[in-house]
Amino acid sequence: MFSLSKSNFSPVSLTLPLFRCGIRELRQRIHTVQTTQKITEAMKLVAAATVRRAQEVVVNDRLFASNLAEMLNDVTQRLKSDDVSTPLTDARPVKTVALVVFTGDYDLCGSFNKWVIKWRFQQRRLRSLLMMFSHWLCEFLRKEKSKWHKRAPRVWMSPMRPKCPLCERERSTRPVITRNKKEINWLFLLLGQMLGYCTLEHLKYFCKHNEVHGTGANDVFSLFVVYTRFVSLVRFEPVVQTLLPLG
């Protein structure tokens, strides 16, 4: 048996901070907290409405995406049955592989992007492909490192329409493309951002001088798309889908 005496216990004294302020200061603080609470509640409502609209867009577009995939699959099967040879459907010996990873770029998306990229490298199929072509890629970078200074200017990585000098309206005029078009390199890297800024003449020039600009579009034999499939607001399923060759 154990006997516990009162001397073994010491009362715990809590020291609370003392606010030396008057009634007016206390009322101001209470008013500030209440105002902040109202603003926070409004922000919650706006965020909930934004998430609801985004969820509706995802659910509505899912049917279109599935029907489009079925249509492409049907076209591919018909081309194979009719012995029609196309670069997009022919299964060739794989020399280069391209990975297109869709990640987030809004608000606190760092951990989400890290999770997607980490999951991508954990996939056995993608990991084997990356290991297979890592030596080839290092050799390519070693040979082509002297040509890196011929890439496009930094401004073309994120083109923005300049300000109009007459009406002073922002982003209302088209940027001027230099006449020495050979300075604009890596077309397919910038085409998604430059779409709407290039004329038909510029695109014809790029396609004609494909070897000069080193786009690498003719060297990609297999293309994989990595994205997250929406299940619910708290659950996303990562998916790897083969885009090229079709079917």
The set of catalytic residues is 109
The β-bridge partners of 238 are 228
Do 181 and 146 touch, CB atoms closer than 8 A?
no
Q: Would you list the DSSP string of 173-242?
A: SPPPPPS-GGGS--HHHHHHHHTTTS-HHHHHHHHHTHHHHT--GGG--EEEEEEEEEEETTEEEEEEEE
**Cα-trace Rg, the chain:** 29
d(CA 151, CA 148): 6
Question: Quick one: tokens of 204?
Answer: 């014809």
What is the bridge-based pairing of β-strands 97-101 and 222-232? Answer: parallel
**Cα dihedral sign, 137-192-101-109:** positive
Do 242 and 97 touch, CB atoms closer than 8 A?
no
